Structure 1
């Protein structure tokens, strides 16, 4: 059976399709940014709604070509906050035959952990940090225990992500290149803001290895390793070097850098600040980046609803 998961995140709308034995058939991502302005208005921006629905229409066509027989849909931080989320969910249902399941922060953290540790063995505690557009999640457990129990020992979701931090500090977005003094001041201000929200991470149970997932980390890994992303080891020194380099460039210059998708160039410094502040609070200097994340964790779990999908969709 070929099955597919549609995911509506604050910054990106994604598709993951798996075949027999969980063989990856498709992995797509579009920077639709449905979370635009929700913090200020509480509602979904009309243009963002149309971008997101256009991406879903594109993915429906891909699913047809792959002969997908079962689908599900999930949504995260933005739709948790939007007052008109139900109306948008109706538009998605009309296209897929299933309403997107709006995950809680705890669920998001748990499925990210299950996805990121799916191929990991051993009996040591692992922390999985998922930095998205609208929130940051941390889950800690021994992978074998989480798989056997069907639940993760400790999870926490906090309301800060790449899009939300950038909206709170617009100078991060790259309207112009910043000089050294400006970069230092902005960096300190944004870090203090992020740290105040992320502080509860410092009380989480200790672990032996940190795995980071999400578009920010995936992009950073490609920049550090020249295109290679999954399994790359990064340091806080790497993240700080990238932050400073990005803030020293305007948006057009960022978009011209290798391995940065144009739709992520404006919010990447903000996302990296969230990653780095989380690492600082956790006392971690080195982490591993994983391509396997929330989508894999959900799609291969018992939560996947396997709603029939046929050529008439």
Structure 2
């Protein structure tokens, strides 16, 4: 089981390709490849914060490289999370959509809170956490604060205090003075002070830092101690040491800062980054901290592998046959799992609302199989892949299904996109009137479920489905603009089977 994830930040973009460790390490993985691209999108924002064409070109180049490397490793898709640069750009959503058209990869824009949760998860798999922890994750555009226990994040805050942002606002690149650093740190304290009680030190609290700036600081501090280390993960440093490093770097010109171990490529943002972290740590009452190399992309990786493991372990024997076929045909298992889950949830809520689609257990089984296999035809060709999927399903020798059930799974895959079921189609015309009605209903569910993961980000959750007037109202959480567009485009058969569908996305 292999997964490729990437994060797009203000300063750089990172790809991580890994495979699950199947024995002895629950939730573990082995990294197969990694790639860092210094996209520096923060340099490509105009006066109004819009990402410029140059920025789009840089991002497109990085995503194209990521996709090629993942494909070479046998991973059909890269899951990408975009943070503050696209999150805050007025044209961020439009840029993300254009990236899908240009590269085949969609950078899903996540909230600062979601970023903090995933980063905490990444840190939890990288360093030993205590019963109470406060994580500080410094990016180029934002600084996330996360309080949690050994299991998960409990409280998350995102503030616009990133190293690139603070450098531009307060610190000249060449030789910042004490006055500029003092002004920066006062701005950090002013922004954090209203929230300080939520993240302040308590007896036994462990402070954890993640980010390139934190890793660079740890490397520099270890060098000062005369310690050599292949990795700074788990390195323990004091806030007093951090203050001394900040003072020394502040007194250096950029060229000299670039000669300090760890800061070879961070000389321009080193002072602002260290000053921001120092101000935040001292305000929260921290005296020391641990550095984590696990961050956002490691959290994304852990979450995705956990989802896939849960999916594989929860399905029946015959659905394992379906999963085997999906893997054999190179299907995107993450997308398959999400579509199947969304289809089952929609089916369940329709049933709860009094809609009868025949035997519920059979309908769930058919939708689960069709959700897993609806795109396997892409191994033949992208064009008309729904028809290729139907052919492959009919000849995949799925175990545990009757010939009739296999035909229905093939038809569901056939109609997941493009044309709706028509009387002129021989396979559909061969069904009885009652079967045609039922198949159309199941097709409606599958099409909407597939549309809701149009971004292939796997983040949509269905809150509730309600009857309203002559139609339906679907409330969602975690949907990207592309997911909403995809579901609306694919709600045509739903309108025919059940009535018009209206979507509402929660923040």
TM-score range (shorter-chain normalised) is 0.7 to 0.9
Q: What is the distance in 2 between the residues matched to 1:68 and 1:102?
A: 22
TM-score relative to the length of structure 1: 0.86
1:104-183 alignment, distance < 5 Å = 104-119=111-126, 124-144=131-151, 146=152, 152-171=153-172, 173-174=173-174, 177=175, 183=177
Post-superposition Cα deviations, 1:162-185, rounded to whole Å, max 9, x if no partner, equal 0110110241x22xx45xxxx322
Q: What is the distance in 2 between the residues matched to 1:58 and 1:2?
A: 18
Post-superposition Cα deviations, 1:121-177, rounded to whole Å, max 9, x if no partner, equal 676111111111111111111122x2xxxxx32111111110110110241x22xx4
Q: Which residue of 1 aligns with 2:62?
A: 55
Q: Which residue of 2 aligns with 1:235?
A: 238
Contact 1:16 1:27 in 2 (8 A): yes
Which deviates more from structure 2 when the two are superposed, residues 88-97 or residues 202-211? 88-97
Contact 2:126 2:293 in 1 (8 A): no
Post-superposition Cα deviations, 1:238-275, rounded to whole Å, max 9, x if no partner, equal 2222222222222222223333242x220121111111
Q: Which has the larger Rg?
A: 2
Residues 299 and 70 of structure 1, relative CA distance in 2, 3 Å threshold = same
After the TM superposition, list the runs of 4 or more consecutive aligned residues in structure 1 that deviate by more than 4 angstroms.
119-123, 302-305, 307-313
| Matched position secondary structure for 2:140 | coil
Q: What is the distance in 1 between the residues matched to 2:103 and 2:238?
A: 41
Q: Which residue of 2 aligns with 1:215?
A: 212
Q: What is the distance in 2 between the residues matched to 1:98 and 1:56?
A: 7
Which deviates more from structure 2 when the two are superposed, residues 38-47 or residues 11-20? 38-47
Q: Which residue of 2 aligns with 1:293?
A: 295
Unaligned runs of at least 5 residues, structure 2: 22-28, 224-228, 309-332, 337-374, 383-507
Q: What is the distance in 2 between the residues matched to 1:122 and 1:82?
A: 35
Contact 1:36 1:45 in 2 (8 A): no
1:28-43 alignment, distance < 5 Å = 28-36=35-43, 38=45, 40-43=47-50
User: What is the RMSD of the two structures over their aligned residues, measured on CA atoms?
Assistant: 2.7
Contact 1:10 1:76 in 2 (8 A): yes
Residues 247 and 37 of structure 1, relative CA distance in 2, 3 Å threshold = farther
Q: What is the distance in 2 between the residues matched to 1:199 and 1:48?
A: 34
Unaligned runs of at least 5 residues, structure 1: 147-151
Q: Which residue of 1 aligns with 2:83?
A: 76
Which of 271, 274, 283 is the matching residue for 1:272?
274
Which deviates more from structure 2 when the two are superposed, residues 79-88 or residues 103-112? 79-88
Figure out how many residues of one structure are paired with residues of the other and give that number: 299
Asked if 1:283 corresponds to 2:280, the answer is no
Structure 1 residue 6 displacement after superposition: 1.8
